[in-house]
Amino acid sequence: MLVKICGIRRREDAEAAVRAGADLVGFVFVPGTPRAVDPQNADWIKDLLGVETVGVFRDAPLDWIDEVRRRLHLDRVQLHGSEPEDWVRTLGRAVIRRIPAPTGTGDRVRVEGLTAMGALALVDPGAGDGVLCDWSAVGRRLSGLPFGLAGGLEPKTVGRAIREAGPMLVDVSSGVEVSHGVKSAAKIEAFVQAARNASSRHAISFP
């Protein structure tokens, strides 16, 4: 089970996530959003140790995504908008691709395609707005496939989400905050522990 703490704006919050045992930390590079980070003022991200860094982008130009990734030495890129699917191939195998909650066989085929390209599908029904989905339905529709789960997760609910949906990654932002972009170290620790307790699977990495 992999745990990602997303929407981080402050170095101390990223370090709290590392101490809590998170596997990935995410930084939003979407100007004008509450948790946006200015890449020109974020060189400290390059110095983080013990965790993988993820840059979250939404409908940004491909060349800018690549520029930010290189500048900040990001380990992974997360595409959170309507970017062309073939960008996954262009950006390489370290891609997380947000998709809506699956509703039919076409969604399963899409996840299978992303998996074949070495990407991880992230089920997030609200595209970062904290909207919940039917975890049991997600688990049934994507059974046997690797995927991540986001949307309305918090320390009190992540265990149930893991048991019902069976994701390989859980992703939280607002569920561990005290205000937009300001995380609670205690909530981060509680979230990570709850996720670990709910899963008997060892933490694994994807391509």
CA distance 81 to 66: 16
Tokens of 91: 């950006």
Burial bucket for residue 6 (CB in 10 Å: 0-12, 13-18, 19+)? buried
CA distance 118 to 191: 27
Q: Rounded to 5 degrees, what angle do the CA atoms 29, 57, 126 make?
A: 105
Burial bucket for residue 205 (CB in 10 Å: 0-12, 13-18, 19+)? exposed
Report how far apart, in Å, the C-alpha atoms of 173 and of each of 63, 114, 116 are.
Answer: 26, 24, 28
Residue 125 confidence (pLDDT) = 84
Distance of CA 110 to the CA centre of its chain: 18
Residue 7, pLDDT > 80, answer: yes
Residue 127 confidence (pLDDT) = 57
Q: For residues 11-29, give the mean pLDDT.
A: 97
* E-strand stretches of 29-155: 52-57, 76-79, 95-99, 120-123, 147-150
Percentage of the chain beyond pLDDT 90 is 82
Residue 180 confidence (pLDDT) = 82
Residue 205, pLDDT > 60, answer: no
